[in-house]
Amino acid sequence: MTPRAASSQVSSISRCVSKGSLCKPPSSHCLRSAQGYSSAPPQSERKLRQSGQPSGLKSWQRYAITMVIGGVVYGLYEGYSNKQARDAFIPYKLVEKDLVSTSASIFVLQPQGRSPDLDTYKEAWQRGIWNFHFKQPQLQIVRAYTPLPPQDAPSAEEVSQLRFLIRNDAYGEMSSYLHQLPIGSQIELRGPNIEYELSPDVKQIVFFAGGTGIAPALQVAHALFSQKEHSKDKKLHILWANRKRDDCVGGHSDYSPVEPLVKKSATSSDSPTLSTSTKAAFSNDQGLVVKELERLKEKHPGQVTVEYFVNEENTWIDRDAVFRALGRFDDNDFSCRSSSSQEQRQILISGPSGFISYLAGPKEWRNGREQQGGVSKILAHAISMNPHNVKVWKI
C-alpha cells in the first residue's frame, strides 16, 4: 500500500473514532472506502460464471450442424477421390489379340489389381462416344482409343473386359508399340473419357467412318438403340470407307432408295458408288467387324443400314454418295419447326484427319485446344443443295 493510501485509511478510521466508535470494529463501509473495495467479483471470476451459462443452441441443433458439416466434407472428399480415380492409370492385361486384317487387330484387355468402376462404364455406354487413354511407358506418351461395344450375353469374365480395334501403323509410336506386345503384357489405361454425348432427342444419324473410325459408329449404335424411349423409331446409316478389302471382307452394301441428285462429275469414279460386286464382298467369309455390323442389322431390322467403300476397288465416298446419304433423312419422322429438330438429325464423321477434312473440312486449333471448325467441302455442298436442319460433328 502506498503512503498516500495509508494516510487516507488512517483518516477514515480517525473519523470513525471521532464519532465514538473506537471500541467497535471499523464498519464495512469504512473499510470499503479505505481500501477502494468493489462489490463486483474479480474479472477472472466473471469469465468463469459467463462460461458456465448455457449456450443459445439446443443439443439437437448442434447435432444437426455437425451432421451438415460432416456431409459437406464427405462430399468434397468423394468428389476428389472420384477425380483421382478417373485421372489414375489402371493396369490391364492383354488376354487376346484377334487379327481383323493384315493391318488391324482387336485387342481384348482384362483389368488387373484394382477393379474399375463397372457402373461408370455402363453409364458411358449409354451416353455416346467415349475413349480410353493408353500410356506408352517407354516414351511417356498417351493416345486415345475407342472401345468396341460389349458383345451380347457376355460371360462373367467378359463383363469387365474391354475390346479395342487398333490399326498397326508402322509410323505410329503407340500403335507399333501395342502390336509388338505379346499376350499377357500389361497395358495402363485411364478413363472413361466422354468425347461426344448423344442427345436423347436424336432420331436419325448418318455416320461417315474411315478405317478404325468404325468403332465410334458401333458405339453410337449401341447408345442409340439402348435408349428406351422410341427406340423403334430411330435409324442409323453407316458409310464405311477402307483402303483394302481385307479390312471389311464379306461386307456388302445396303442399296440406297434414293437416286443421285446431281450428275456424276468427272472427278467421281466411273463405277457406281455402291458397287461392291467383287468375289470377296459376297464371300461367305466375313471379317470380325463385318460380323458385328451384320448382327446389328439383324437385331434392328430396317433401322440399321451400311454401305462399304474400298479404295482399291475404286469406290469412294464422293458427292453422289453423300447426296444419297442425306436423302435417307425422313422429314415425316418429325417436325422441322421443333426447336430440337437439329438434335434429331445428326451427321457424325470419324476417322483419320485427312478423311474428316476431305468430307467436311479440318478441325481447328484455338487457344491450345482442338475445336470443331466450320463445315465445308463435300458435306457443306451437299447440305446446301439438299437443305436439312442437321447437326454436324467431327469426332
Residues at the annotated binding site for FAD? 143, 145, 165, 174-175
Nearest-CA neighbor of 253 among 290, 215, 295, 214? 290
Report the distance separating Cα 297 and Cα 80, nearest Å. 42
For the annotated binding site, the residues are 143, 145, 165, 174-175
Cell numbers for 364, please give them.
481447328
Check if the beta carbon of residue 247 is closer than 8 Å to that of residue 308.
Answer: no
The 8-class DSSP code of residue 294 comes to H
Nearest-CA neighbor of 165 among 55, 319, 293? 293
Report the distance separating Cα 123 and Cα 139, nearest Å. 32
Nearest-CA neighbor of 202 among 169, 171, 231? 231
CA distances from 187 to 75, 145, 171 (A): 32, 13, 20
Residue 358 CB partners (closer than 8 Å, separation 6+): 377, 378
Report the distance separating Cα 273 and Cα 315, nearest Å. 6
First to last CA, the chain: 93
Report the distance separating Cα 112 and Cα 116, nearest Å. 9
CA 357 to chain centre: 24
Residue 60 CB partners (closer than 8 Å, separation 6+): none
Nearest-CA neighbor of 186 among 132, 253, 242, 112? 112
